[in-house]
Amino acid sequence: MKRWTPVRLLLSRIARFWREQLRIWKTAFDWTVMLYLVVPGLWILGGLWLEMLREPPAWLLALPPGLALAVFAILMVAGRLRTFLEEADVLALLQRRRWVRTLKTGGAAYTLAAQAVATALLFTVLLPWLRLHDAFGADGLAMWAVFTLACRSLAAAARRLAASLLRGWRRWTANVLLSCALIACYAGAVSASDGSAAFLGAGAAAAFALWAGAVRALVRMRGGYEADLQAELRARTASAALLLAVAAIEEKPAPLMKRPMLFPRSGRILRASDPGAMLAEMRIKAFLRQPRQLGQGFRLIAIPTVALVSVPGWVALILAVVLMALVASWLQRDFRVWMDEPFIARFPWEDAAIRRGAMLSRFWLMLPAAVWYAAVAGWQLAGWAGLLPAAPLGACLWALINLAMKDLPATKRRPVAPEEREAADG
């Protein structure tokens, strides 16, 4: 029997991780699905990719060049640094620093290799679009990919270092600041490079040097064991969580802090005190306290913004109104789902209170996005002179749209009538 070494332990855990992931994906993709759906789909998509590479379609030519930079900038907040540490290591390995250092170093190298493959695949898929812009030649695109890989690796190591050193709201604040700083540096460097391979190569070398320093600090660190375990657990369950999300099975996230960051004391936020206002307050707090909902809200602002700045001014005004109605419809459906939560559904809410709660919560949750849509559309139509008057007009228009939606069904279950409430109390 061969003797265990740190390197053999690392390789065995990597192999076990991939065996687990294959077993998870086999639950959704058996050989029949692969034969009749996945393989033909890849063949068709490959043919479309080659066709776009030879003759780019008109819609591909119309896409703005800055959109590619935005896509790659989002990658700065994706991905996590692997260490392959496990719960039982607290008993066996934490006293053997050489073994732990090997696992952390090997995990960083594995993360770099995985991110290199993912980055290369993304640049390859987007190649028919990227090659249309004259600023980047073949060498410039190659160094752009290397620079993107270096920044992604640096972002993952920096976030893990912050998670190992900080707790609670300080960790969250540090992650947000680090992500914003890295995105700004990445976007600024790519924009300033003007397709220069030498400039991007120097930036990649600097990013890799900072990544190596962050990895060295993590390897030498004696604390941060809990952050490593949490990241490993999320990495091992990411595939299962993705399949559950596709299957529309909602997973309740575990609370990360003892108190929520927003409204920690649960004070009043609306002046009215009727049941409808109380229901609206509960909905607003529940929405803003969920990272998943905040992520969706961010996408509902970021993606339409790109659409608004990509169309002519008068079309942007119409599109802003359409976006308000679409997002309001999504908020209405989400309110109906929230009303079926066990804690909310146990109260006998009256029909009038439910409708008022839906209307109030929808108005305040959507108001920032509505003002933003209108301001961007006004700026697109008349520049800075149209931005300031468009913002209050957008708020007024959103108030009218919200008022027009007041009679939409706000719950899936039958509300309780006042006479039924009196009979139940009696």
Three-class SS state of 1: coil
Q: Work out the pLDDT band at 220, boundaries 50, 70, 90.
A: confident
What is the tens place of the pLDDT at every residue in 275-300? Answer: 888 888 888 888 887 766 666 777 77
Task: Delimit the domains of the chain by residue range.
Answer: 6-242, 275-425
pLDDT of residue 114: 92
Q: Which one is predicted more confidently, 377 or 342?
A: 377
Q: Which residues contact 97 (CB under 8 A, 6 or more apart)?
A: none
Beta bridge partners of 350: 416
Cα separation, 38 vs 22, in Å, equals 15
Q: Report which of 420, 425, 375, 424 is spatially closest to residue 397, judged by C-alpha positions.
A: 375
What pLDDT is recorded for position 187? 84
- Report the C-alpha gap between 287 and 297 in whole angstroms: 10
The 10s digit of each residue's pLDDT in 1-17 is 568 888 898 899 999 99
How many of the other CB atoms lie within 10 Å of CB of 28? 12
User: What is the residue whose two structure tokens read 């043919």?
Assistant: 47
pLDDT band at 423 (very low <50, low <70, confident <90, very high): very low
Q: What is the mean pLDDT of residues 243-272?
A: 57
pLDDT one-digit tens code per residue, 135-184: 677 888 889 899 999 999 999 999 888 888 888 778 888 888 888 888 88
pLDDT for the residue numbered 270: 78
Residue pointed to by tokens 């893990």: 160
Question: Could you report the per-residue pLDDT of 295-336, keeping only the tens digit for each?
Answer: 677 777 777 777 787 777 778 888 888 888 888 888 888 888
- Contact status, residue 234 vs residue 253, Cβ threshold 8 Å: no
127 CB-near residues (< 8 Å, 6+ apart) = 53, 141
Q: What is the pLDDT of residue 110?
A: 93
Instruction: Return the structure tokens found at 161.
Output: 């270092």
Q: How far, in Å, CA of 203 to CA of 193, rounded?
A: 10
Sign of the alpha-carbon torsion through 34, 36, 41, 42: positive
Task: For residues 395-402, give the mean pLDDT.
Answer: 89
- pTM of this structure: 0.62
pLDDT beyond 70 at 54: yes
Considering only residues 240 and 397, tell me which one the structure prediction assigns the higher pLDDT: 397
Where does residue 345 rank: exposed (0-12), middle (13-18), buried (19+ CB within 10 A)?
middle
Side chain identity, residue 207: A
What distance, in Å, lies between the first and last C-alpha atoms of the chain? 78
Calpha distance 104→81 (Å, rounded): 9
